[in-house]
Chains A and B, each alone.
Chain A
Amino acid sequence: MRFLSESTGMRIPCYSVLDGNGEIIVGSDYEQLSEEIAVKMYTSMVTLQMMDTIFYEAQRQGRISFYMTSTGEEAISIAAAAALTADDIILPQYREPGILLWRGFTIEEFASQCFGNKDDCGKGRQMPNHYGSKKLNFVTISSPIATQLPQAVGVAYSLKMDKKDACVVTYTGDGGTSEGDFHAALNFAAVTEAPVVFICRNNGWAISTNISEQFRSDGIVVRGRAYGIRSIRVDGNDALAVYSAIHTAREMAISEQMPVLVEALSYRVGHHSTSDDSTKYRSVDEIEYWKKVRDPVNRFRKWVERNGWWSEEEESELRSSMKKQLLQAIQVAEKTEKPPLKELFSDVYDVPPPNLREQEKQLRETIIRYPQDYPSDVPL
Chain B
Amino acid sequence: MTVRDALNSALDEEMSADPKVFLMGEEVGEYQGAYKISKGLLDKYGPERVLDTPITEAGFTGIGVGAAYHGLKPVIEFMTFNFSMQAIDHIINSAAKSNYMSAGQMSVPIVFRGPNGAAAGVGAQHSHCYASWYASCPGLKVLAPYSSEDARGLLKAAIRDPDPVVFLENELLYGETFPVSAEVLDSSFCVPIGKAKIEREGKDVTITAFSKMVGYALKAAEILAKEGISAEVINLRSIRPLDRDTINASVRKTNRLVTVEEGFPQHGVGAEICASVVEESFGYLDAPVERIAGADVPMPYAANLERLAVPQVQQRELATDLCQWLQLL
- Chain A residues in contact with chain B, CB under 8 A? 89, 91, 120-123, 125-126, 130, 132-134, 139-140, 142-144, 147, 149-159, 161, 180-181, 183-185, 187-188, 191-192, 343, 346-350, 353-355
Contact = CB atoms under 8 A, between A and B. Distances in A.
26 contacts: A122-B102, A125-B101, A132-B103, A132-B106, A139-B106, A140-B105, A140-B106, A142-B98, A144-B94, A147-B94, A150-B62, A151-B62, A151-B63, A151-B65, A151-B69, A153-B63, A154-B70, A157-B63, A181-B58, A184-B56, A184-B62, A187-B54, A347-B99, A348-B139, A349-B141, A353-B194
A121 B101 CA distance: 11
Given A123-B103, A125-B103, A155 B67 contact: yes
Contact of A347 (B62, B94, B103): B103
Contact of B89 (A132, A144, A184): A144
B139 A154 contact: no
A350 B70 contact: no
A139 B59 CA distance: 18
B101 A157 contact: no
Given A185-B59, A187-B54, 18 more contacts: A89-B70, A132-B103, A132-B106, A140-B102, A150-B59, A151-B63, A151-B69, A154-B66, A154-B72, A159-B70, A161-B72, A181-B58, A183-B56, A184-B60, A184-B63, A188-B56, A346-B104, A349-B163
Among A130, A156, A159, A347, the one with the most B-chain Cβ atoms within 10 Å of its Cβ is A347
Interface of B: 48, 51, 53-54, 56, 58-72, 74, 89-90, 93-94, 98-107, 138-139, 141, 161-163, 194, 241, 244
A244 to B, nearest CB: 28
Contacts of B101: 122, 125-126, 130, 140, 142
B325 to A, nearest CB: 31
A154 B64 contact: yes
A347 B161 CA distance: 14
Nearest to A133: B105
A350 B99 CA distance: 8
B59 to A, nearest CB: 2
Contacts of A132: 102-103, 105-106
A325 B68 CA distance: 38
Nearest to A189: B63
Contacts of B90: 147, 150-151
Given A134-B106, A187-B54, A349-B163, A153 B141 contact: no
Nearest to A126: B101
Contact of B163 (A140, A350, A354): A350
Contacts of A134: 102, 105-106
Contacts of A343: 103
